[in-house]
Structure formats: structure tokens, C-alpha cells
């Protein structure tokens, strides 16, 4: 297949991926490689929206577990996503890709405020949209923000880029012989407690029949392969 299977996608990038091998912050080589992958599918005419995490800078849930008040910790995590969004925007625009950052938390000097109709218009004009600030509310993860934004803009699929090549029945780091799934239903993800996304995000996708593909973002060309209809990673949908 040479024509894109999907015309409008939402790409969910975990903050941890951007840290690379250094484990913290933004690795310039990694973010440059991610930008090249995004440009490749953008050049095919695909409309691309992105939700980016902030775990490479600050994890609100971890800070809350260590005694910080949860709402404050989550807002700090949201600000971390803005840093990542601005870094990705800069990298994409240096490659000639017109980009807009929309934040769920108002900060006019840095980003547009999130407005659904404006976001859709940007996509129609072939601008890449980066959604920052999560949902703008504490207690909701960027996974939930990805599911919410995907439905709001009418994305056909969520592509979740991670450090592993799909969903496994156990933690690969602890269980080297863990089995990788090629396909799952949302109900199976919840029933088996696979934790590929938080349960709120999985439930949203299931209720609105929005497919999810989990894949290794570090493998060059994976996003383009998915867009062209090749089997990559694990697909999760309502009915297998």
C-alpha cells in the first residue's frame, strides 16, 4: 500500500521516550529523530495531532506518592508537557513543518489556548498540532488527554509511541519470555490489567470505538509503516 490508510491521526508520545538513554530531560538526537518520523507522514498528506507527556521532566503521580499535594504535583507535570511541546515544535519547524502548540492551560506568550474548532482548522491547513497541558485538570493523565483530544478532532486512530514494540502479558524487563500480543480488545486490556493506558483512557476509546496502536517509537520508520497499513506493534480495538 502506497496511499495512507489513515488521514487524521493522534500521536501520543511519552515523555520518557524523549529522554533517550540519559533518562532525564530532552535528548536532542531523540527529539530530532521523532521530528523526522512526524515529517515523513506529514509529507504523505496525513493530518497529525500530537499529545506529549512530561515524565522525562516531572511526574506528578510520583511526586504525589512522595507526599506532595496531588493537584499541585499534577499541575507541575502539565507544565513539563509544555516544555516538551515547545521543544518538539522548534525541532519540527526547523525541518519546514508548520506547527501550532495549543495548551489546555492558558499561557498566551507561549502557546494558543485550546479551542477545538481552531485545532481542526489548523489540521485542515496541514499544520501539525501539539496539544500540551494534558486536559488542564489534575487527576487526569496525558493518556486520557490523548483519548479526549482524538475524539474531539475526529482522529481515526491513536498511535501510542513507547519504548517497547507492543503490549506484552508481563513486564519485559522482569520477564524476558513475556508474550507480545498482536491484537487485543479494549475489554481484554482492562480484564488482564495490562496497563498500556490508564483505565479512563481505555474506557473512552472503547466507548467510542477508537482504535489504539501501541508501537516502538525508537524504531525508525514505524510510524510511516503504520500509516501505510503495515502491521506494527499491537492494535487494540473494540472487536478483534
3-state secondary structure of 123: helix
Residue 147 CA to residue 170 CA, distance in Å, equals 24
CATH number at 8-237: 3.40.1160.10
Q: In degrees rounded to 5, what are phi and psi of residue 149?
A: -65, -35
3-state secondary structure of 46: coil
3-state secondary structure of 199: helix
Looking at the whole model, is its pTM more than 0.75? yes
pLDDT digit string (tens) for the chain, length 240 residues = 679 999 999 999 999 899 988 888 999 999 999 999 999 999 999 999 999 999 899 877 777 777 889 999 999 999 999 999 999 999 999 999 999 999 999 999 999 999 999 999 999 999 999 999 999 999 999 999 999 999 999 999 999 999 889 999 888 778 888 899 999 999 999 999 898 888 999 999 999 999 999 999 999 999 999 999 999 999 999 875
Residue 171 CA to residue 155 CA, distance in Å, equals 30
Measure the N-to-C terminal CA separation of the chain; round to a whole number of Å: 22
β-sheet bridge partners, residue 180: 168
**Domain residue extents for the chain:** 8-237
Nearest alpha-carbon partner for 85 in 47, 43, 53: 53
Amino acid at each position: 500500500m502506497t496511499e495512507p490508510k489513515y488521514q487524521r491521526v493522534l500521536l501520543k508520545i511519552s515523555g520518557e521516550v524523549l529522554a533517550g538513554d540519559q533518562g532525564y530531560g530532552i535528548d536532542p538526537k531523540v527529539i530530532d529523530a521523532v521530528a523526522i518520523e512526524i515529517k515523513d507522514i506529514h509529507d504523505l498528506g496525513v493530518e497529525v495531532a500530537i499529545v506529549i507527556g512530561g515524565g522525562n521532566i516531572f511526574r506528578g503521580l510520583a511526586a504525589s506518592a512522595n507526599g506532595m499535594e496531588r493537584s499541585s504535583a499534577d499541575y507541575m507535570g502539565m507544565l513539563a508537557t509544555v516544555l516538551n511541546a515547545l521543544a518538539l515544535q522548534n525541532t519540527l519547524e526547523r525541518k519546514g513543518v508548520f506547527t501550532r502548540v495549543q495548551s489546555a492551560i492558558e499561557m498566551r506568550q507561549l502557546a494558543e489556548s485550546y479551542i477545538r474548532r481552531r485545532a481542526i482548522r489548523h489540521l485542515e491547513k496541514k499544520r501539525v498540532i501539539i496539544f500540551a497541558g494534558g486536559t488542564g485538570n489534575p487527576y487526569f493523565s496525558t493518556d486520557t488527554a490523548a483519548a479526549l483530544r482524538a475524539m474531539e478532532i475526529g482522529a481515526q486512530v491513536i498511535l501510542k509511541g513507547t519504548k517497547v514494540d507492543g503490549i506484552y502479558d508481563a513486564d519485559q524487563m522482569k520477564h524476558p519470555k513475556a508474550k507480545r500480543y498482536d491484537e487485543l480488545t479494549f475489554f481484554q486490556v482492562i480484564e488482564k490489567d495490562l496497563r498500556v493506558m490508564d483505565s479512563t483512557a481505555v474506557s473512552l476509546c472503547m466507548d467510542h470505538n477508537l482504535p489504539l496502536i501501541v508501537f516502538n517509537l525508537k524504531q525508525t520508520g514505524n510510524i510511516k509503516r503504520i500509516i501505510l497499513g503495515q502491521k506494527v506493534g499491537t492494535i487494540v480495538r473494540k472487536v478483534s
